[in-house]
């Protein structure tokens, strides 16, 4: 069966669907897909929420959508300007409803690794480190993360290093949406061009799938908003997300 979803639209829209009415949502550094998700939600959904971004924007109205989620263009039209310490302070005081934080690895408990792949003393890859994640994952009310590769090397049974743990609520990949329930990530839905069997085969941790169903289709308004944000497909080309089915399991 074919659907209207591409891997790119699937991640962006399902990140946007994590936002709830009247929430404060934040997108950070190297977070182009969450940036697009927040801007999409502002256009596609009939509820108000406050969008903050790491560039300092508060409910911005950018005239041009930048390719960097830290670009000063994301401050245009803001009601105020936030500094980094303001984001951390808001989060620590319990005022951040939803934060989008990236990761290199994630396990079934929703813990993340952005520190090192392999041994800490002799790593195969040295990653950027916790940054805001170590502060915001435990203090934001909810955190959503994403991976453009759904494989056993990124969705793992055991992390190579635990950088952060806390309030991870959702994980979005090109083929699946997970929500955390009872301390573990559970499958909420899968890409209609994929299958429960494929999600299971490509995931390194065990998960509950009892209530999972195919993901509801992209709506007309979501599609229109994404087309407005990426009319020439530049963001989708940069994301370079592989095909839904047939990818190696990593």
Phi, psi of 50 (to 5 degrees): -100, 120
Q: How many residues are there in the chain?
A: 250
Question: What distances in angstroms separate CA 106 from CA 4, 24, 84, 150, 185, one per listed residue?
Answer: 28, 24, 25, 11, 10
Domain map (residue ranges) of the chain = 7-239
Q: How confident is the model at residue 2, as a pLDDT?
A: 42
Predicted confidence at residue 81, as pLDDT, reads: 87
The β-bridge partners of 53 are 27
Predicted local distance difference test score (pLDDT) of residue 66: 79
Q: In this predicted structure, what is the pLDDT of residue 14?
A: 98
**What's the CA gap between 168 and 139, in Å, rounded?**
10
The per-residue pLDDT for 247 is 44
State pTM to two decimals: 0.92
What token pair was written down for 178? 């997970």
What is the greatest pairwise CA distance in the chain?
50
CATH of domain 7-239: 3.40.1080.10
pLDDT, position 246: 54
Task: Find, among 44, 43, 45, 33, the residue nearest to 53 by Cα.
Answer: 33
Burial of 155 (0-12, 13-18, 19+ CB in 10 A): buried
**In this predicted model, what pLDDT tens digit does every residue of 83-98 receive, in sequence order?**
888 889 999 999 999 9
How far is it, in rounded angstroms, from Cα 236 to Cα 65? Answer: 13
DSSP track, the chain:
---S--HHHHHHHHHHTT--TT-EEEE-TT-HHHHHHHHHHHHH-SS--EEEETTSBBS---SS--SSTT-GGGGTT-SSB--HHHHHHHHHTT--SEEE---SEEETTS-EE-SEEE-SSSEEEE----TTHHHHHHHSSEEEEE-SS-STTTEESS-SS--B-S-EEEEE-SSEEEEEETTEEEEEEE-TTS-HHHHHHT-SS----TT-EEPPPPPHHHHHHHHHHSTTSHHHHHH----SSS----
Report, as ranges of residue numbers, the positions in the chain whose pLDDT lies below 50. Answer: 1-2, 247-250
């Amino acid at each position: 069966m074919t659907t209207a979803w591409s891997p790119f639209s699937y991640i962006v829209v399902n990140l946007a669907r994590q936002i709830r009415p009247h929430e404060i949502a934040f997108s950070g550094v190297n977070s182009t897909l969450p940036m697009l998700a927040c801007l999409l939600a502002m256009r596609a959904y009939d509820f108000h929420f406050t969008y903050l971004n790491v560039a300092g924007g508060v409910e911005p109205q950018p005239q041009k959508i930048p390719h960097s989620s830290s670009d000063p263009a994301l401050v245009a039209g803001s009601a105020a300007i936030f500094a980094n310490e303001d984001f951390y302070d808001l989060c620590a005081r319990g005022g951040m409803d939803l934060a989008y934080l990236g990761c290199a690895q994630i396990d079934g408990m929703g813990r993340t690794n952005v520190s090192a792949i392999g041994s800490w003393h002799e790593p195969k890859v040295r990653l950027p480190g916790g940054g805001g994640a170590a502060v915001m994952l435990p203090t934001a009310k909810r955190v959503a993360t994403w991976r453009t590769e759904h494989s056993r090397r990124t969705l793992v049974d055991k992390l190579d290093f635990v950088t952060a743990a806390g309030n991870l609520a959702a994980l979005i990949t090109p083929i699946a949406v997970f929500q955390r329930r009872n301390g573990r990530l559970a499958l909420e839905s899968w890409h209609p061009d994929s299958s429960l069997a494929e999600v299971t085969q490509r995931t390194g941790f065990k998960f509950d799938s009892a209530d999972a169903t195919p993901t509801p289709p992209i709506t007309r308004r979501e599609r229109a908003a994404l087309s407005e944000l990426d009319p020439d497909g530049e963001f989708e080309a940069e994301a370079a997300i592989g095909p839904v089915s047939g990818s190696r399991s990593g």
